[in-house]
Amino acid sequence: MLWPPEYFSSQRWAREKSFRKAGYRFIAGVDEVGRGALAGPVVAAAVILPEDFDHEDLADSKVLTPEKRATLYEIIVREAISWAVGEASHEEVDALGILQASLLAMSRAVTRLTPTPELLLVDGRFCLPGWSGPQKAVVDGDALCASVAAASIVAKVTRDRLMESVSPTYPVYGFSRHKGYGTKEHLEALKLYGPCPIHRRTFRPVSDLTGPPGPR
């Protein structure tokens, strides 16, 4: 996608630029992926970008091809001031619920950043509990803030690679193709073989096949 030069200097990422004009330098965008998956962890990323960072293809990871995500991932991790990832395991998703597990993964990513962010821009409607510094929850942040878009890409590529790496351990499920989401292929495999150790037992239809989770 090609943007006219004036777009970079005006409208594009205007929300994040407004915070920079307010005096914040180290702004960390925070996002997660994997909330809706039936298997595997929630993976979050936090990214602090240089003020002048931009790329014509930078966008919410969901609208990018895998090839463009991989290319942008390499650019982001090379040029970012700081970046980090955090996970909440499938066991933590079952124990805490998906919202709290997602916030936990994002908190883990943020605490691994150096320098400490002066402001967090958290994708979604919820801020991170326990974070003492300034933060803003930004709905559709991955479409409005460059650092959040970058975080969405880092989180997505990281989680996709993780699910590809475990696919040979559980070959009948096809994790390398659907990354644990509820595709037709995945649902048919669940019916045939039941859940494997990395499935989320509290998520339907996995819970329908395994019954209620045991004591926590």
* pLDDT tens digit sequence for 164-195: 999 999 999 999 999 999 999 999 999 999 99
Confirm whether residue 56 is marked as ligand binding.
Answer: no
Whether the Cβ atoms of residue 126 and residue 103 lie closer than 8 Å to each other: yes
pLDDT digits (tens, 9 = 90+) for 37-95: 999 999 999 999 999 898 888 888 888 899 999 999 999 999 999 999 999 999 999 99
Confirm whether residue 31 is marked as ligand binding.
Answer: yes
Q: All domains of the chain, ordered by start, with CATH?
A: 5-170 (3.30.420.10)
pTM: 0.90
DSSP characters over 78-117: HH-SEEEEEEE-HHHHHHH-HHHHHHHHHHHHHHT-SSPP
User: Rg of the Cα trace of the chain?
Assistant: 18
Nearest Cα to Cα of residue 147 among 5, 11, 7, 17: 17
Nearest Cα to Cα of residue 148 among 71, 76, 68: 76
Amino acid at 56: E
Nearest Cα to Cα of residue 31 among 143, 141, 108, 119: 141
